[in-house]
Structure 1
């Protein structure tokens, strides 16, 4: 080894890499291969395990060994000890994967799947990606499209709809891992979802049983200058406060089509206006809550119809 590794005070006096107190890849009497990291840390492993999961390692172990043959063959790798430790823990028996940030996960997947062709870790990798899809949708999208994990990429793309994709801000670091084509696909998807979501606020033909709702029956407060067609094919006057809500929500959906509209401040602003009317305020809380849930369902269905192709 090219660096001095401190020895822990244990019964077996095992050599342990400095970056971790104890791990399952320490010096072993029956290990038959050493993986040596780029920073000189040795990982004692079994050929059979690596050959079973990786055709790359299997081929590597079949190559002729240099003379004289060492007691335990050493394979020099380009990965440093920290990354190699995390990568091995992803599949090696008796270990537990440790992923602190999504960038670690990206590096692990790149090493195991792309470089060493260990396809058996894909299920574990996608489970880890699920943990980041809400907080880091663009990062998850970039990883998923790079490996053609379409289902995960679509899930991440839908999560990205909760935030605006701004071109007037600094470029997010995730763009370093995306091709221009794949980012354009995401932008185009975001735009089409925005159009589809906003349209649900520009038409009321999807509203069921219109005559039951106070926003169509009230004659006490101001109505919009135009009558609106509802699900029965008839045009009705609609309260102005309700139309103002639709217009406000439409502009919001144009930027962030995937937001949760149930708790958006526009709901409370609409209710505040409606309660100023003696007729509306008696029924608006229950009825408007039902409408918001209905609108959210229509938006979700509209977005689900937008296809994202890779």
Structure 2
């Protein structure tokens, strides 16, 4: 607990009509109404074992009373910081309820919501955690791994971390809270997902590259068919083997380059966005095909890319996240 003279919390937790004071670990006094907190949380109800005073009433401390008072109001010390307690109390009172944005503040508030059994706040914070994990996945994973029983949150953050590269030795500040085992679990999961995602796009094997069957739903794509006389450039093709059909397809070489680029991309970040590469290679395709096919190439590429994305997601979903040694 903080030492020194405590300071008052900001409104509305500084009213003289309060009949209890919650003092945080950083020395901030929240003046509250016991009845409101007791309705919101059974844990708070157990904390307020003293008979409540009437609003504005002050209690005189007896010599044999070791309860601390301030202005005649009983003081209850807690281990939470003022930032965390402010979030908690605002969800007990009928007030505006801003939620924390930073990963550390969010996790602290989620820990407190569970400690004090404020179920509606926990549900709100879990939704915010999901959004926060997509913005700060490594931070959220590290903080979740430092808590007991937070496997669900670890899995959410680990899955979100697949959208960004996770190179060996890369750290964020919150990683100081997690164990070496948790770091290895995440790195191993990221690597296994990267390999699975890459194989879902393109497989290498002599003498041809192989395209998994589930990513091809037909043969009417312009990057397979355009061999018209009015092509802007002579056709340059590469062969791709469809193992399941035992068939080799001649496709546009720029399309094979697209597959290779995507395969390399997911080796760095298994669930990375394909949008940038899709736009780049659609433009390249439009510069080589006939006018009619060039008009269709972006739509055909987008349709095929959606199949690739679904294949990658299926492959990643089959990779387990190891959370135990």
| Same fold? TM cut 0.5 | yes
Question: Offset at 1:196?
Answer: 1.3
2:228 is the alignment partner of 1:215: no
Quickly say closer, same or farther: Cα 1:192–1:23, change in 2 above 3 A: same
Question: Offset at 1:138?
Answer: 1.9
Structure 1 equivalent of residue 117 of structure 2? 118
Query: Equivalent residues in 2 for 1:1-310 (5 A)?
Result: 3=5, 17=8, 20=10, 22-28=11-17, 31-38=18-25, 40-51=27-38, 57-62=44-49, 67-68=64-65, 71-89=72-90, 91-98=91-98, 99-113=100-114, 116-118=115-117, 120=119, 121-145=121-145, 146-169=147-170, 171-202=171-202, 203-219=211-227, 220-224=234-238, 226-229=239-242, 232-261=245-274, 263-265=275-277, 267-269=279-281, 271-273=283-285, 275-278=287-290, 281=294, 283-310=296-323
The more displaced of 143-152 and 172-181 is: 143-152
CA distance in 2, matches of 1:40, 1:273: 65
Question: Offset at 1:201?
Answer: 2.1
Confirm or deny: 8 A CA contact 1:275 1:284 kept in the other structure.
no
Confirm or deny: 8 A CA contact 1:26 1:43 kept in the other structure.
no
Quickly say closer, same or farther: Cα 1:283–1:43, change in 2 above 3 A: closer
CA distance in 2, matches of 1:178, 1:143: 7
Question: Offset at 1:250?
Answer: 0.6
Give the TM-score normalised by the residue count of structure 2.
0.74
Cα deviation 1:127-176 (Å, max 9, x = unaligned)? 2223312211222323444253444433322221111002254x211212
Confirm or deny: 8 A CA contact 1:200 1:298 kept in the other structure.
yes
The more displaced of 295-304 and 95-104 is: 95-104
Quickly say closer, same or farther: Cα 1:232–1:282, change in 2 above 3 A: farther
**What stretches of structure 2 of length at least 5 have no aligned partner?**
52-60, 203-210, 228-233
Cα deviation 1:209-264 (Å, max 9, x = unaligned)? 5432233334551222x441166442222322211111111111100111121x22
Cα deviation 1:97-138 (Å, max 9, x = unaligned)? 33253322223233443xx44352321221222331221122
Give the TM-score normalised by the residue count of structure 1.
0.77
Structure 1 equivalent of residue 57 of structure 2? none
* CA-atom RMSD in angstroms: 3.3
CA distance in 1, matches of 2:258, 2:27: 64
Confirm or deny: 8 A CA contact 2:6 2:29 kept in the other structure.
no
Quickly say closer, same or farther: Cα 1:39–1:283, change in 2 above 3 A: closer
Confirm or deny: 8 A CA contact 1:245 1:270 kept in the other structure.
no
